[in-house]
Amino acid sequence: MIPFDFEYYLPDTLKEASEIFVTLQKEGRSPLYYGGGTEIISMARVMNVTPGAVIDIKKIPECLEFGINDNHITIGAAVTLAKITASGIFPLLGLAAGRIADHTVQEKITLGGNLAGTIIYHESLLPLLISDSSVCLQSAEGLKEAPVPEVFSGGGLRPGELIVKISLEKKFAQCPYFHIKKSKIEKIGYPLVTVCVLLYDNVMRTAVSGLCHFPLRLADVPLDPDTDEAVLAENLVRNISAPIRNDASGSADYRTFILIKTVESIIRELKQIKKDKINA
Amino acid sequence: MLKLSGKNIIKLSVNNVVREVAVRPSDILAEVLRNQLGLTGTKIGCENGDCGVCTVLVDNLPVKSCLMLAVEAVGHEITTIEGLSDTPVQNAFIEKNAFQCGFCTPGFIMVCRSLLNNHPDPDDYTVESWLQSNLCRCTSYQEIKEAVKKAKDLR
């Protein structure tokens, strides 16, 4: 049971959504945009968030966009993770989304919710960080588009900003990719480390969650068949400047070790794929 | 733009019957189903989306009703365990003894029903992916998996 009341708004347009947000905020009602609502409900139940109003975005057409048009993939913020996985529209994103929470909850969690939530892992962000994706944001100033890393690797969303949709070029959904999630015990759980890799133009693009307090993109690495994967993985991970998480779920040394070994195995696989291609 | 504040009368379509309920916007679907509609087959466990005992179908997809506001369900078709009486999936659970204490059973049956509706011939990976959404502390997992296979044959 949620032990307090809030108001519920169901806007039909982006403009209505941002206008009501501004009004409610001015009134001191601490509004929250509401997509799947899984995080808001579970946190409200224990009073970790106490919004005076929620603004449900599931009726706004732009937030429900989903498909491919002119070689661009568009995914609205209110599209569920389960739908993304089932569609196969962006296989790497589908894999990442398919390992967040469990299958039933994936029917409720939305892409926008996973990106904007307070849980630090944001695993659906990883494929977007390495695919030159852009995000469309609505605020009181109107609509704007920005590169995903600029918004999510910087200061994050500003108060009142609503994620409307994500877009990327279709070519990134067709690259060779890897997704590996390592959790401490169960298959379902928060990651020790989750690694997403795209091989684009013979360059390995890597993003990681669980290692630090926010997802991050590692340095790009050209895939040279003569490179020693152990050395490459070690260098890639040792160059991370952000503090590595060190807690009961995994020490910093353990997380680093797991990541190095995971990246090493991915490089080995990618080199094999390349070798097979040449031989074929 | 729809705005709801305080107590409101809303219409919910549950098991193909439209029912009126008086809810606050912050009322959770699981509680409304149990406390206002008397559909106590839907259990409440963790209230955190972890255990799956409150699973219902919303437009034929499984949803943990502890993680859904009742007002979100307006305009959607809700199916609870009471709506699956004497169906192949229920009979398969009985035939395979796919429960011990039975508390988790409604949630598992709802997930299995949706699984088979969406994947009429699921492979083992798909079955496990869907069933991992629910917990059974009596550990009847093997029997539950057999019940899914049986339900597939009974359909």
Indicate the domain borders of chain B: 8-82, 86-154
Would you list the DSSP string of A34-101?
ESS-HHHHHHHHTTS---SEEEE-TT-GGGG-EEEETTEEEEETTSBHHHHHHHTSSHHHHHHHTTSS
The whole-number pLDDT of residue A154 equals 65
Hey, are the CB atoms on A5 and B130 less than 8 Å from each other? no
Tell me the ipTM for this assembly: 0.96
The shortest CB-CB distance from A2 to any of B3, B28, B63 is to B28
The whole-number pLDDT of residue A277 equals 78
Q: Which CATH class is domain B86-154?
A: mainly alpha
Distance from CA of A30 to the nearest CA of B (A): 15
The whole-number pLDDT of residue A203 equals 94
The whole-number pLDDT of residue B42 equals 98
Q: Give the A:B interface size as CB pairs under 8 Å.
A: 89
- Fill in the DSSP letter of residue B67: G
The shortest CB-CB distance from B67 to any of A5, A16, A108 is to A108
Distance from CA of B82 to the nearest CA of A (A): 20
Bridge partners (DSSP) listed for residue B78? B14, B58
List chain A residues with pLDDT less than 70: 154
List chain B residues with pLDDT less than 70: none
In this predicted model, what pLDDT tens digit does every residue of A203-244 receive, in sequence order? 999 999 999 999 999 999 998 888 899 999 998 888 898 999
Distance from CA of B100 to the nearest CA of A (A): 23
Please give the CATH architecture assigned to the domain spanning B8-82: Roll (3.10)
Element (H, E) at B142: helix B141-154
